[in-house]
Chain A
Amino acid sequence: MPNPSKRKHNANEQAKYQRIASAHVPKPPLARNLVTAFAVGGIICAVGQGVLNYFVSSGMTFDEAIAPTLCVMIALSALLTATSIYHHIGEFAGAGAAIPITGFANTIVAAAMDFKREGYILGMGAKMFIIAGPVIVYGVVSGVIVSAIRWLSR
């Protein structure tokens, strides 16, 4: 008769192993990651600010300049993604490259490029938002919740 407890390692054994294993896992270089994320994220934002300033200086109001600024940053990110540069920035800067809108644009373009091979309908069209989708869904959901709170507490 097979002894069921012998067949699958129990939780105690697993926990003991995970303690042994985690001692071998190198710690992520937290300080380096923080510095590169801060620097690269800052540079991306500075570029965005420069674009915004340009639109304002050429006669737009601040509110008018926001949309075209985002368009320029998204286009720039799409270009850098298509030319295989943005993922290197992401590898180097982590959240510094992921959090700004350029990172968001990268997730959509990267998925579109990848799934194009499965066709424009079932591939690219269906799977373009495979990474960005959750951000949009929960962005809208949290927007509704926050607006509801604001409306109720008027």
Chain B
Amino acid sequence: MADVVQRRVGGSLRFPNRPSIIASSTIAGPMEGKGPLARWFDCVVEDDMFGERTPEKAERRFMRDAIDVALKNAGLEPDDLHIMVAGDLLNQTVTASFTAAEVPAPFMGVYGACSTSVEGLAIVASMVDAGFADVGLSVTSSHYQAAERQFRYPIELNIQRKSTSQYTVTGAGALVVSSGRGPVVVTEATIGKVIDMGIKDPNQMGPAMAPAAADTLYRHFVDTGRTPDYYDMIITGDLGAVGSSILRDLLQRRGVVLGDVYRDSGALMFEGVPGTGVGGSGCACAALTMGGLIYKKMLANEISRALVVATGALLSSLTWQQGESIPGVAHAVALEVQPGAAT
């Protein structure tokens, strides 16, 4: 019993076998290509329909390409994968399961709304750390048109965006996690609790998710004994400008000052891009930022520790029409550069 490895720190998970991210991929749509994160993407697709007849099919193309590029970047074949965890925003996560039908890997579909990218990574990292898989892949996608018609209104409808509206990110991001030594290590994960603060307006997803993000971050810092400045970068998924300002406020009230290391990927994604409201949202928002900006900055040794907190608004078009409030969830993973792996 003396050799039992400590895998739980407080309520958070610690990965003592240091599962590594050996490759990432980021396939982004045209609007995302206009934003400041574009230089970190593997590929910007100019036609958001990807030449397909429906946006749902186009989203699958994004996910499929993300998988192919990630495997290519890792120098692996689809048969090498011991597990693939995927998720998206569409009903019954059809993007994930239909795409998985083309990939010969054991598959688990997950749904955490826009928090799915980190949820998937946490699951894959746990499996790799525990020895259930040597190589695993986590992939998520979202598509503006597909999400818009499922959650909101027809694309061509004349409607004015509210001051808190967000814009669904089109794209897909994948990460390959391996038990072997890689450039970036997944060190801890803090799994989110679902928190419902009674926000009912689907145009206010940032305010609906901010309490969950505050709770997860607070617990992460308490569990690990760290403070925000331990990290070179703390990134939330898609709180947008409004939600991230609320998050700072909530944490400050609990004595945690996020400071300059904190940014929101939703706010970053469309910085300076007109017609996108207070920022991006969707599964691909955190996925593109994590696989692009963060992973590549870590490869370049520009940052050595990062905390990614992907946030999800757990609503459906039925629940908000029935007057229910919007529960939020946020999952966090801590990443660090493998010592001595700098390029």
| Pair from one complex | yes
Given contacts A17-B198, A18-B197, A18-B199, contact A24 B157 (CB under 8 A): no
Q: Does A69 contact B (CB under 8 A)?
A: no
Across-interface contacts of B199 in A (CB, < 8 A): 18, 21
A21→B246 contact, CB < 8 A:
yes
Across-interface contacts of A92 in B (CB, < 8 A): 160
| Contact-residue size bin, chain A (C-beta under 8 Å from the other chain) | 35 or more
Main SS of chain A's interface residues?
helix
Number of A-B contacts (CB under 8 A): 102
Q: Does A109 contact B (CB under 8 A)?
A: yes
**Which of A8-16, A60-68, A133-141 lines the interface with chain B?**
A8-16
B153→A131 contact, CB < 8 A:
yes
**Which of A48-56, A111-119, A142-150 lines the interface with chain B?**
A111-119
Smallest Cβ distance from B291 to chain A, in angstroms? 29
Q: Does B211 contact A (CB under 8 A)?
A: yes
Q: Does A45 contact B (CB under 8 A)?
A: no
Across-interface contacts of B198 in A (CB, < 8 A): 9, 11, 14-15, 17-18
**Docked complex Cα distance between A132 and B189 (Å):** 47
Across-interface contacts of A103 in B (CB, < 8 A): 158
Q: Does B155 contact A (CB under 8 A)?
A: yes
Q: Mark A1-34, 1 if CB is under 8 A from B, else 0.
A: 0000000110101110110111011111100010
A114→B195 contact, CB < 8 A:
no
Given contacts A17-B198, A18-B199, A28-B163, contact A110 B157 (CB under 8 A): yes
Residue from B160, B196, B278 with most neighbouring chain A CB atoms (10 Å):
B160
Q: Does B133 contact A (CB under 8 A)?
A: no
Across-interface contacts of B161 in A (CB, < 8 A): 91
Considering the complex, give the chain A residue whose CB is closest to the CB of B243: A24
Smallest Cβ distance from A81 to chain B, in angstroms? 5
Considering the complex, give the chain A residue whose CB is closest to the CB of B157: A110
A114→B160 contact, CB < 8 A:
no
Considering the complex, give the chain A residue whose CB is closest to the CB of B198: A14
Considering the complex, give the chain A residue whose CB is closest to the CB of B149: A114
Main SS of chain B's interface residues?
loop
Interface size on B, residues (CB 8 A): 31
Smallest Cβ distance from B145 to chain A, in angstroms? 9
B211→A17 contact, CB < 8 A:
yes
Q: Mark B155-182, 1 if CB is under 8 A from A, else 0.
A: 1111111111000000000000000000
Smallest Cβ distance from A120 to chain B, in angstroms? 14
Known pairs A90-B160, A110-B157; list 18 more (Cβ under 8 Å): A11-B198, A14-B197, A15-B198, A17-B197, A18-B199, A21-B199, A24-B245, A24-B246, A24-B249, A25-B242, A28-B162, A29-B163, A33-B160, A90-B158, A94-B160, A110-B154, A113-B154, A114-B149
- Top 7 A-B pairs ranked by shortest CB distance? A90-B158, A14-B198, A114-B154, A110-B156, A94-B160, A110-B154, A21-B207
Which residues of B does A touch, CB under 8 Å? 53-54, 149, 153-164, 195-199, 204, 207, 210-211, 242, 245-246, 249-250, 275, 278
Q: Give 10 A-B contacts (CB < 8 Å), ordered by A residue.
A: A9-B197, A14-B197, A17-B211, A18-B199, A24-B245, A84-B156, A87-B155, A87-B158, A93-B160, A110-B158
